Amino acid sequence: MERTRGKRLRRPKGCALWTPVTSDLPVHEFFCSLAAPLFGVVQEGTVVPSWPPEAPLLTLYPRIIPFMYSAHFPIVLASTSPRRRELLGLTGLAFEIVPSPAEEPAPDAGEAPAFYAARMARLKAAAVAATRADAVVIGADSIVAVGEVILGKPADAADAQRMLGLLSGRTHQVVTGCALFAPGREPEIFTVTTDVTMTHLSESVIAAYVATGEPMDKAGAYAIQGQAAPFVSGIRGSYTNVVGLPLAELRNALEGLGAIGVSAT
């Protein structure tokens, strides 16, 4: 891999950004450190460099090309999920990331998947909104459900294999609860459900996938945007909901709260 070792950067004519240093970082990481001020994402007061594998170059767009939406309030994402950060970044809105300190209790006995997802989203958003009364705070929680059986993140590799075996060859639901806390408004809580159909997965395929480590921090033990993409034979509903944030429904909710609007051209 090409590296920046020993290369001294010079400021191009007309460029306000200049870092006259050398670096041992790979070129793409070094560029990321230089381009960070262009990013529209802030984490606890600090610009977050967002680069593959966590997020594509699209995350740079909010400050490079014009977008159609602008925010009327500060927007805070109460989540550290790189997938939600990436999805919200596609709107072109500048936003902050403030991790929610809320605990995530297990579902109550007999609690419906949609009620549980909504309850978790509200808990996450409320914990951050308590300290950010000036902002629109977005909380989200995604779960996978087979009927009324809720699948969260696997506890270990064996649990991940169990979940994938349960999903193999059948249709399940991905439910994302969203909670929006806006200044002077009642909280907006809603859920979005997408049907996802998986092909049959052999035990060897399941074991190989679990061995990659990808399932371990994912609800239902798979990532539709990752190596599990070939497992999915069809979806009915929002794709971004399966990834972790239903953008169409979120946009509608933000507009309904008066939190965003179409930018003047």
CB neighbours of 234 closer than 8 A, spacing ≥ 6? 196, 197
Q: Is the peptide bond preceding residue 53 cis, with omega within 30 degrees of 0? A: yes
By C-alpha distance, which of 216, 219, 185 is closest to 104? 219
- 52-76 pLDDT, tens digit per residue, is 334 443 344 444 456 788 889 999 9
Is pLDDT of 31 > 70? no
Q: Cα dist. 17→35, 49, 101 in Å?
A: 9, 16, 35
Specify the pLDDT at position 265: 59
Is pLDDT of 19 > 50? no
Residue 7: beta bridge partners?
Answer: none
Please give the domain boundaries of the chain with CATH numbers for all domains.
1-38 (no CATH), 39-262 (3.90.950.10)
Specify the pLDDT at position 98: 95
Is pLDDT of 4 > 60? no
Overall average pLDDT of the 7-32 stretch: 39
How far apart CA 123 and CA 127 sit, in angstroms, is: 6
CB of 132 closer than 8 Å to CB of 99:
no
10 Å Cβ neighbour count for 66? 9
Q: Cα dist. 253→42, 162, 188 in Å?
A: 22, 36, 8
Specify the pLDDT at position 263: 78
Record the pTM.
0.75
Tokens of 60: 């740079």
- 212-251 pLDDT, tens digit per residue, is 999 999 999 999 999 999 999 999 999 999 999 999 999 9
By C-alpha distance, which of 95, 74, 72, 93 is closest to 259? 72
Specify whether 24 is catalytic.
no
Please tell me which residue in 141, 156, 195, 217 is annotated as part of the active site: 141
Q: What percent of the chain has pLDDT over 70?
A: 74
